[in-house]
Structure 1
Amino acid sequence: MLMLTVLSYAAQAVFFLVVVCFILYVLLELRVLGISRRVERHKLTELVSQLPGMLALPVWPRVSVLLPIYNEAAVIVRLIDAVCRLQYPTSSLEILVLDDSTDNTSTLAQARIDYHADLGVSIRYVRRASNEGYKAGNLLNGIRQSSGEFYVIFDADFIPQEDFLLRTVPYFQDPQLGFLQTGIGYENRDASFLTRFQAMEMGHQQYVTVGLSEDGDMASLSGSSCVWRRACVESLGGWNASTVTEDVDLGYRAQFGNWKYAYMRDVVSMSVLPETTSAFRVQRKRWGRGLIHSAFKHARQMFRQRMPLMQRLHAIAMMFSSLLLASIYILLLLCLPLSYLVDFEGLGIHWVAWLFFGFVAIWGLNNVFAARKGAHIGEQRGILRTLWETYLYVAMFLPMAWYYFAGGMRALFGVHGDFHRTLKGGSKKSVIRPPVHKILWMGDGFSFGYSAITLWVAIQKANYFLIPISVTACLGFGMMLVGFWQEERSIK
């Protein structure tokens, strides 16, 4: 009996802790979104916003465009063509194709490089003996062979605007500006609900970054479509291969090193989202593992930094948001034992739960608003459709919580370096899945069944506060399972 009492209070304490952290996170995000709304037409940090409209320099600095690729046959030709169209003084620009491929991507890349080189473009093919260090190692090898004062990085599925360099490089007149992140759009955002969800999620992140940048708070770097000052990268020792989110890691180190950053939402490079549930699962597990690892890796340094209280709170919320998302999965797992361990008569935990659901609703509506703004989705929707899409949007975060939880557990057990690339679009090559995918989709099935049982128990015991999270979990995991079933049918 004593053991059950201890377990009951322990489960309630964990539930309460996660809810409190979530509420604090929502309040901080609402503050940032309020700032973003005030600067909706785009501003940079206070320093950079003092340099508007500068599109010409007396002397253009040398720029190295780095294209790290690995088995990207479907997109490599269009990437090289797009980068070779960049407008910039020819004498001050070099393009390096950093190829770690093991398939026919290398042949396609070499042929296209030769074509543009014959036209006078300064473009080179760079290949290593091995892909040690994955993308981080590839970039480190590339910068050793580059001559630019600035680095510009584009992943294989990106298409930059032709005036990308003319609009970004002039903002680096302040010597303390270490890096500049630009906006990202998605060509296939309307291919399915899954791609639309991803576009909105990324749009939300970009819209939040507007407020973080304006307020002088820490932000998380997307990596691609980014401009780096060479002196900044060299002072930090370059990209670190010990984490699979090497871009986030370098961004944290730059900000802790007192380098300034800027964000330009109105300069947009187009990218491609994964269209299959299998690619989405593996990508989010990798992100969760890398982001949680990076948060703990840099936590001590963050707390040692001298920051105003509000900036520190935003830094904590930003760095540990992935851990918070993973902990939502723990809430889901707690729902069933809570039904058996807790006598809800006269207790306040059900009020804590309803408070949690209320803040989820507030967060969801504001999240969707920010997502639509960030993703430049401008079409008008009716109230009922908006509410339904908001609910579906929120439901998708429960499968994501599972993927981040799985990634966090791998980080906890010291799995930091293995890299599973994300296959973009609807390529049938997506059937070649890493072993971890089986664990992830089986986890989807387990979570769906677990949530259904929890729902049944909640109804039987009249624990109505458990019903919303169980129904939402069934919907979210159900969508992922149906999507995987459709994916399997399409490749047979």
Structure 2
Amino acid sequence: MTILALLLVLVYGLCLSFIFCYSLIQVHLTYLYLRCQATKHRPINPSLLLTPEELPRVTIQLPIYNERYVVERLIDAVAAFNYPANKLQIQVLDDSDDETVTLIAAKVAHYQAKGLDITHVKRPSRTGFKAGALQYGLTTATGEFIAIFDADFLPEPDFLHQTLRQFNHPRVGVVQTRWEHLNSHYSLLTKLQAFGLNAHFTIEQTGRSCGHFFINFNGTGGIWRKTCIQDAGGWQADTLTEDLDLSYRAQLRNWEFRYLEQVTAPAELPATMPAVKSQQFRWTKGAAETARKNLGKVLRSDQPLLTKVHAIFHLGNSSIFVCVFLSAVLSLPLLLIREHWTPYFYLFKSGSLFLISLVGLVLFYWTAYRQTSKNRSVSIFTFFPRFLWFLTFSLGLSLHNALAVLEGYLGIKTPFVRTPKFNLRTPADSWQNNAYQTASINLLTILEGLLALYFLAGIILAFYFRDYGLLPFYTMLMLGFGGVFFLTLKHSR
């Protein structure tokens, strides 16, 4: 029993140590972000402005799979780009097998009649999913640069002018822009997603860029130099995050990536829990797969030590869900052990790492929240409720995401599952009766419900032993797993 108890404490301490190191990395990125603010709003260098004659030929790729609700508005938005028609090619890479095909065909014919170079590209099979579609389109792409937009995006007409001026050096391979959210106020679920994504698209991307660390193309809302894609080995479908994979392969080939926080690409957030889960699964498992594929190459490269450290936590950031879930589940038996295992009480002091980590995360998300709020005088009193709900929401997804991460590290392959989009702009819009509504009530859903009860028991034990240190943690875990369980049931009807 003593050996088992010691083992549990050691695993618990290792998980908290990883969370602590992760929070230190986030604090460092926050520091880099704040340091870079002084240069962010400098006037545009006249040498970066392109004359009409200097504008390069651009291919816009629109990878589509069953997007009947949003595909028409995407094509309309791209067709409205204020860019010379004789230097623009649009590829609608359509893998759909529903009425989306007919909608695309009609739109393409409409803009072809207006003289636009737009093609409806249908592959023989959906091999390689999105990565396969992008690589297939690349073979007939005539542009020197390749802009990519997912189906739910609505780029501004001047998008190309704002991004292309950054390719002022032949080794600049990618320019990525910040995502904005068309429906962030649709529900509490979309508000919390926006809260988390805003931190990535401000602090993380800008901080990594300013620190000259590896950053990533986010799969959409950015533009590639075609020769960069080709030099890095092209799009490959052996991970679920083909964008992150190609980003690392390109940067290992010494291509430069630039991130533009001030240029935005609006898009739609998933509005149902099954849709959120499918997106989270793809992102977290794909990151683990990409780490499995590329992290060794990074560590063996001649990159600076600090760059390698940041790459470890960049590629391995989804592992945070494994550590959070294990530390949460183990905290209950450790609560019992602590009452009867006094000789090694000092080992439990590792729990203080969680509080220190929390302070770092508060600083990270507070900085992002202030930076992305339209009202720059936002109060800490409006931030903390949003932060606590976000933390609760993340805890509730920890089992789901931890399983995805483990599958990624173990090399278990699963197909690319798209995140359905419903064209929801206002709270009056409804996702119900949508053709892409997915049912996801399974064993995992049941386990999430049981975990809500498990942490309810933790609350009871905290009062029983009069040990209230983890009571807020247990409360958030109970609400998080209970909320994910409830919304999964509600949104799967």
- Indicate conservation of the 8 Å contact 1:200/1:372, yes or no: no
> 1:472 corresponds to which residue?
476
Matched, 1:261 2:266: no
Matched, 1:423 2:427: no
Any idea what SS the aligned residue of 2:470 has?
A: helix
CA distance in 1, matches of 2:67, 2:222: 20
Matched, 1:175 2:173: no
> 2:285 corresponds to which residue?
289
Structure 1 residue 220, shift from structure 2 partner: 2.8
Structure 1 residue 417, shift from structure 2 partner: 4.1
Matched, 1:213 2:209: yes
Letter in 2 for 1:143: L
Matched, 1:246 2:252: no
Structure 1 residue 365, shift from structure 2 partner: 4.3
CA distance in 1, matches of 2:482, 2:46: 50
> 2:365 corresponds to which residue?
367
Unaligned runs of 5+ in 2: 423-429
> 2:426 corresponds to which residue?
none
- Indicate conservation of the 8 Å contact 1:329/1:401, yes or no: yes
> 2:308 corresponds to which residue?
312
> 1:433 corresponds to which residue?
438
Unaligned runs of 5+ in 1: none
1:201 to 196, 199, 207: 196
> 1:36 corresponds to which residue?
33
- Indicate conservation of the 8 Å contact 1:42/1:264, yes or no: no
Structure 1 residue 267, shift from structure 2 partner: 1.3
1:391 to 366, 388, 391: 388
CA distance in 1, matches of 2:148, 2:393: 30
> 1:13 corresponds to which residue?
10
Q: How does 1:117-156 map to 2 (within 5 A)?
A: 117-156=112-151
CA distance in 1, matches of 2:377, 2:168: 41
TM-score with structure 1 setting the length: 0.92
Any idea what SS the aligned residue of 2:146 has?
A: strand
- Indicate conservation of the 8 Å contact 2:24/2:360, yes or no: no
Letter in 2 for 1:327: C
Change (3 A) 1:377 1:22: farther
- Indicate conservation of the 8 Å contact 1:56/1:166, yes or no: no
> 1:482 corresponds to which residue?
486
Structure 1 residue 309, shift from structure 2 partner: 2.4
Bigger CA drift: 136-145 or 460-469?
460-469
CA distance in 2, matches of 1:181, 1:51: 21
- Indicate conservation of the 8 Å contact 1:290/1:416, yes or no: no
- Indicate conservation of the 8 Å contact 1:116/1:123, yes or no: yes
Change (3 A) 1:94 1:193: same
- Indicate conservation of the 8 Å contact 1:344/1:350, yes or no: no
- Indicate conservation of the 8 Å contact 1:43/1:210, yes or no: no
TM-score with structure 2 setting the length: 0.92
Structure 1 residue 424, shift from structure 2 partner: 2.3
CA distance in 1, matches of 2:455, 2:216: 33
> 2:319 corresponds to which residue?
323
CA distance in 2, matches of 1:140, 1:76: 20
Any idea what SS the aligned residue of 2:124 has?
A: coil
Structure 1 residue 180, shift from structure 2 partner: 1.1
Bigger CA drift: 110-119 or 461-470?
461-470
Superimposed CA distance per residue, residues 53-99 of structure 1 (whole angstroms, 9 cap, x where no aligned partner): 52436422111100000000000110000000112121111000000
Superimposed CA distance per residue, residues 181-227 of structure 1 (whole angstroms, 9 cap, x where no aligned partner): 11110110011111011111111001121111011011232110111
Structure 1 residue 341, shift from structure 2 partner: 3.5
Structure 1 residue 479, shift from structure 2 partner: 2.5
Structure 1 residue 313, shift from structure 2 partner: 1.6
Matched, 1:71 2:66: yes
Letter in 2 for 1:393: F
Letter in 1 for 2:445: W
Matched, 1:303 2:299: yes
Any idea what SS the aligned residue of 2:447 has?
A: helix
- Indicate conservation of the 8 Å contact 2:325/2:398, yes or no: yes
> 1:407 corresponds to which residue?
404
- Indicate conservation of the 8 Å contact 2:9/2:347, yes or no: yes
> 1:236 corresponds to which residue?
232
Bigger CA drift: 66-75 or 35-44?
35-44
CA distance in 2, matches of 1:41, 1:118: 48
Any idea what SS the aligned residue of 1:418 has?
A: coil
Letter in 2 for 1:136: A
- Counting aligned pairs with the same residue, the percent is 30
Count residues in correspondence.
Answer: 482
> 1:378 corresponds to which residue?
375
Structure 1 residue 378, shift from structure 2 partner: 2.9
2:465 to 461, 466, 472: 461
CA distance in 2, matches of 1:354, 1:385: 26
Letter in 1 for 2:54: V
Matched, 1:81 2:76: yes
CA distance in 2, matches of 1:167, 1:384: 36
Letter in 1 for 2:259: Y
Q: How does 1:92-131 map to 2 (within 5 A)?
A: 92-131=87-126
Superimposed CA distance per residue, residues 148-180 of structure 1 (whole angstroms, 9 cap, x where no aligned partner): 111100000001110111111122131111111
Matched, 1:355 2:353: yes
Structure 1 residue 243, shift from structure 2 partner: 1.0
Structure 1 residue 376, shift from structure 2 partner: 4.4
Superimposed CA distance per residue, residues 451-478 of structure 1 (whole angstroms, 9 cap, x where no aligned partner): 1122223332344333232111112222
Superimposed CA distance per residue, residues 257-291 of structure 1 (whole angstroms, 9 cap, x where no aligned partner): 11110001111111000111111112112211111
Change (3 A) 1:95 1:320: same
Change (3 A) 1:434 1:372: farther
CA distance in 2, matches of 1:473, 1:300: 35
Change (3 A) 1:272 1:372: farther
Letter in 2 for 1:410: E
